[in-house]
Every structure is written in C-alpha cells, then in structure tokens.
C-alpha cells in the first residue's frame, strides 16, 4: 500500500518531511507511517486541482463515467487486500470490513450511472409561459472541492464525496483522517492504474492544520466535511468567510423505538446492530432505546443475555462480533462517559468494562433521566441508553427531544403505525424493522445539529453542481 501524499499524479513526501503514525487498535502496535500533509502540501494539491479543473470540467458525463467505473473495478480487484487493511487499521470485524469495501465500490459504480445521466439532462429546454423566449438548464461543476473525512468509515465516507464530485466534473483535494490515513491512499493507486488525468484527485492525509489549510484556501470552491460538530462549526466559519457552499455531515444521537407488538428476538437483533456495529462509532448509532412500558422488563432481560454473548476482541485473532475503539482518544472518551454515568448515578444493566487493545464491553444503562448527559450527548462508542414510553405520542415526543436529527429505527409489527411514526420522526433516514442498510440510491444526512445538506443519491451529485440558465429571445 502507498504511504505518501498523492498530488498532481505524483507520490511525494510532505514538504517538511512530517509523518503520521497510525496504530492497530486491536494490539496498539504501530502500522506503516504515512506522510503528513501540511499547509505547503495543501497549496500544491489545490494548485494541481485548479490546473486540472480547466480540462476535467470539459469532459462529458460519459467520459467521467468510464473513470468512475475504473475506480469500482480497480477497488474490486483489490477487495481482499482492502478488507484486510480495514480490519488491521480500524479494528473492524471481517463482516463489517467486507460491507465497507462493498459500499465504496457500489458508490463509484452508482455515480458512474449518474454522470452518464447528466449528459442527457444537459442544456434541456425549460417550458416557458412566453413563446417569445427560450431557456436551457445547464449543470456545471462547482469547481475544486475540498473534502475532509473522519476515521470511523474510512474509504466509504470518502467514496460518498469523491465519486459524486468527480461525476459532477469537480476536481478534488481529499484529506483523510490522521487516525486512519492508509486506506484512502488506494484511491491514488487506482487513479494511476486507470490513467486519471493528473491533478483531478489529490490526497493529503494530515492533522487539523491540513484540514484548516483546505477550508481557508482561496483556490477551493466547495467544502464537504464529515466529522464532529466542534470541527464542523469551524469549517462552516471558514466557509462563511468566503461565502463558500458547504456540506456538513456531523453527529447524531439517534433513537430506536420498540413497540409492544413486536417479536422481541428480532427487536433485540436490531437494537444490537443499531448501536454496537463498528463498536458504536457510527454517527447514526441508535444509542437511545425507547421501549414500550408493557414489554420493557421482558425485552431488557433478553437484551442483557444477547449483549453479554457478543464476542469482543481483536478481529484478526478469532471470530468477533465487535472490535476495539479505533483510537486511544475514543477509548478514553467512552471511559470519561462511564465516569459521568457514575457521577449521575445511572443504573447499568451490563458492560462498563474495558478489554484488550482499545476494546470496551458493550454497555447498557437503563431508565436514564432525560436530562442525563449520556441520554443527550453523542458518545460514539458501544453505549446504549434506555427509557420507557407509555404510548405512540410519548415515544415521538421523547425521540424528537434531541439536538440531533440524523437517523432513527422503528420496530413494530403494525406497519401502518411504523410508517406513521417514521413520518413524524425528526431524522434524515428512518429504518423500519431493519438493521441500518444504506444504499447509494438513498440519501444520507440530517437536520438540526446533524448537519447541512444530503449525500448519496442524486442529492449527493447536486451538492457538487451549479445550475445555470441560458435564456434568449426565440
């Protein structure tokens, strides 16, 4: 795997020779070190992207689709190596790593189709009420896109930004997270393999200074950020200084609502998948369980047994259901919340222990007060908080009383009710009786503090397109 920056079609060390030291979170052993971009490298990357934009913007959607399919094919050819790397560098169990890589490939393939579709929509005539005029709609790339991503779904989150940006005709400067900088570098290897023109895609893994160099750079035309609310606010401030368009995918504190009519074993599976997938390091983690009072004790008894049966540990050392926290900082943050829980006097049903590497036992707190910090704040770890509800209205009130509005799950055998509740939940994506499946065709993103805009689907492409109308007398 490459370990250098990828700028203007060249592999290079950082201008100041700095490196990042990623760690295998299961063993706490160092992985290959990676060049750490600083502001000087970001300058070079943005300049390369600007030069490349002049001709990349002139390509047809069909031409760009060929490159995007090339990304999908080349990632597919490296699938096994990428799965192994995702397990080693992020601590993901095999199944989770497989799904990540599959999602990234599917995203490139999907945006190849949408790039082709753009050609058919380009310059389409608008029906006007005045026969003396004609007008055409054009979709034009916004320009050079600065993309900044976190560490919890590396490669997937990047694919969700890079694929639509390239499909739209934008050129890209992507900053992977300093925690997981290795896997995104495969995109440079693929760019070389498919002959992507130099400068169309630039990769600058680095620390916060590389991120802020991107957000402040005059050569950037569009910002797309996924990460924490604290940094998201800084990105938005930087964007506002230049009135740049900005997409923000931030945090969540999503609810899962379980009604009394449901099959309890199914409910337990969806609760576990919703909060312990990726060891809870998911913006969409359904970390607030709302359960109908009449089944609460019964459901919690089964949940306890199932949670305690989860195999937690190093995914490379044997079968595991849940791996470690991906970083030491995250490992400590979750333990800080355990201390808050103790201070708040919360009742723990199970968990609260740490294991080998940066592993944390899946944890459940019950009857958590609504003003508890654990009920209201994003923990980003394997911690579930539970409350009971009396009826549908109470469930909705509790679910929507939240600063975030990213995702939700409804579990009920009454599909009419599930649909009704889904329509009233404040969330960008709601699953009914399902684990959290995400297709590139459906949108991703949320309201309130969860961010601005939507990724995936045609909305993901629109985020990188400007609309122009050309109007003239007939």
Binding segment toward ligand NAD, per CB under 6 A, in 24-32, 126-134, 227-235, 419-427 = 227-235
Cβ 114 to ligand NAD shortest distance, Å: 19
Distance (Å, rounded) from C-alpha 232 to C-alpha 246? 10
| 369-373, Cβ contacts within 8 angstroms, sequence gap of 24 or more | 369/344, 370/398, 370/401, 372/341, 372/344, 372/346, 373/337, 373/340, 373/344
Q: Does 223 contact ligand NAD by CB under 6 A?
A: no
Binding segment toward ligand NAD, per CB under 6 A, in 14-22, 24-32, 56-64, 226-234 = 226-234
Would you say 228 or 433 has its CB closer to ligand NAD? 228
Member of 177, 224, 326, 436 binding ligand NAD (CB under 6 A): 177
Q: Does 184 contact ligand NAD by CB under 6 A?
A: no
Cβ 225 to ligand NAD shortest distance, Å: 7
Among left, alpha and beta (phi > 0; psi -120 to 50; other), residue 328 is alpha
For residue 315, which of 357, 365, 364, 263 has the smallest C-alpha distance?
357
Name which of residues 359 to 398 contact ligand NAD (CB under 6 A): 378, 380
Distance (Å, rounded) from C-alpha 1 to C-alpha 189? 8
* Helices and strands in the chain, H and E counts: 15, 24
Q: Does 315 contact ligand NAD by CB under 6 A?
A: no
Cβ 49 to ligand NAD shortest distance, Å: 17
Would you say 283 or 408 has its CB closer to ligand NAD? 283
Pattern 400-419, ligand NAD, x by CB under 6 A: ------x-------------
Kindly state the DSSP code that residue 242 receives in the 8-state scheme. T
Q: Does 81 contact ligand NAD by CB under 6 A?
A: no
Structure tokens at 198: 């130099």
Size of the site for ligand NAD (CB under 6 A): 31
Member of 252, 280, 313, 324 binding ligand NAD (CB under 6 A): 252
Q: Which helix (H) or strand (E) holds 127?
A: none
Q: Which DSSP string do the residues of 21-82 spell out, in sequence order? A: --EETTTTEE---EE-B-HHHHHHHHHHHHHHHHHHTTS-HHHHHHHHHHHHHHHHHTHHHH
Member of 283, 312, 402, 430 binding ligand NAD (CB under 6 A): 283
Kindly state the DSSP code that residue 206 receives in the 8-state scheme. B
Contact 335, 369 (CB under 8 A): no
Cβ 174 to ligand NAD shortest distance, Å: 10
Which residues lie below 8 Å from residue 189, measured CB to CB, with a gap of 6+?
Answer: 1, 2, 74, 78
Binding segment toward ligand NAD, per CB under 6 A, in 13-21, 26-34, 148-156, 385-393 = 148-156
Cβ 26 to ligand NAD shortest distance, Å: 19
Q: Does 175 contact ligand NAD by CB under 6 A?
A: yes
Among left, alpha and beta (phi > 0; psi -120 to 50; other), residue 227 is left
Catalytic residues: 249
Binding site residues, ligand NAD, CB under 6 A: 148-152, 157, 175, 177-178, 207-208, 211-212, 215, 226-228, 231, 234-235, 249-252, 283, 378, 380, 406, 444, 450-451
């Amino acid at each position: 795997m490459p370990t250098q920056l990828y700028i203007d079609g060249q592999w290079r060390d950082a201008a100041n020779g700095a490196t990042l030291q990623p760690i295998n979170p299961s063993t706490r052993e160092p992985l290959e070190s990676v060049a750490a971009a600083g502001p000087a490298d970001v300058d070079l990357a943005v300049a390369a992207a600007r030069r490349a934009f002049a001709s990349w913007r002139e390509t047809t959607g069909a031409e760009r689709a060929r490159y995007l399919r090339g990304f999908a094919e080349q990632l597919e050819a490296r699938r096994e190596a990428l799965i192994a790397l995702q397990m080693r560098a992020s601590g993901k169990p095999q199944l989770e790593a497989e799904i990540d890589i599959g999602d990234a490939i599917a995203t490139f393939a999907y945006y190849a189709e949408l790039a082709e579709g753009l050609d058919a929509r380009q310059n389409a005539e608008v029906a006007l009420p005045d026969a003396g005029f004609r007008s055409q709609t054009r979709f034009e790339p916004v320009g050079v896109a600065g993309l900044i991503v976190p560490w919890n779904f590396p490669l997937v989150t990047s694919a969700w930004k890079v694929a639509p940006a390239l499909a739209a005709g934008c050129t890209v400067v992507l900053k992977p997270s300093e925690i997981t900088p290795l896997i995104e570098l495969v995109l440079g290897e693929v760019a070389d393999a498919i002959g992507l023109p130099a400068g169309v895609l630039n990769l600058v893994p680095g620390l916060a200074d590389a991120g802020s160099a991107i957000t402040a750079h005059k050569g950037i035309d569009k910002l797309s950020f996924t990460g924490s609310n604290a940094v998201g606010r800084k990105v938005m401030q930087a964007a506002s200084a230049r009135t740049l368009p900005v997409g923000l995918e931030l945090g969540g504190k999503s609810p899962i609502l379980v009604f009394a009519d449901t099959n309890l074993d199914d409910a337990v599976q969806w609760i576990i998948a919703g909060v312990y997938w990726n060891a809870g390091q998911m913006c969409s983690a359904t970390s607030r369980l709302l359960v109908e009072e009449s089944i609460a004790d019964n459901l919690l008894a089964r949940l306890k047994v199932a949670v305690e049966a989860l195999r937690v540990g190093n995914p490379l050392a044997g079968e595991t259901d849940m791996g470690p926290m991906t970083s030491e900082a995250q490992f400590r943050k979750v333990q800080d919340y355990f201390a808050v829980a103790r201070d708040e006097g919360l009742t723990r049903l199970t968990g609260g222990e740490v294991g080998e590497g940066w592993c944390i036992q899946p944890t459940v707190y019950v009857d958590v007060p609504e003003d508890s910090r654990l009920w209201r704040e994003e923990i980003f770890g394997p911690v579930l908080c539970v409350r009971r509800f009396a009826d549908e209205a109470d469930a909705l009130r509790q679910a929507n009383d939240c600063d975030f509005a990213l995702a939700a799950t409804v579990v009920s055998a009454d599909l009419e009710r599930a649909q009704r509740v889904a329509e009233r939940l404040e969330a960008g994506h709601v699953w009914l009786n399902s684990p959290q499946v995400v297709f590139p065709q459906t949108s991703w993103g949320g309201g309130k503090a969860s961010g601005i805009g939507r990724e995936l689907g045609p909305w993901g492409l629109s985020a990188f397109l400007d609309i122009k109308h050309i109007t003239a007398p007939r």
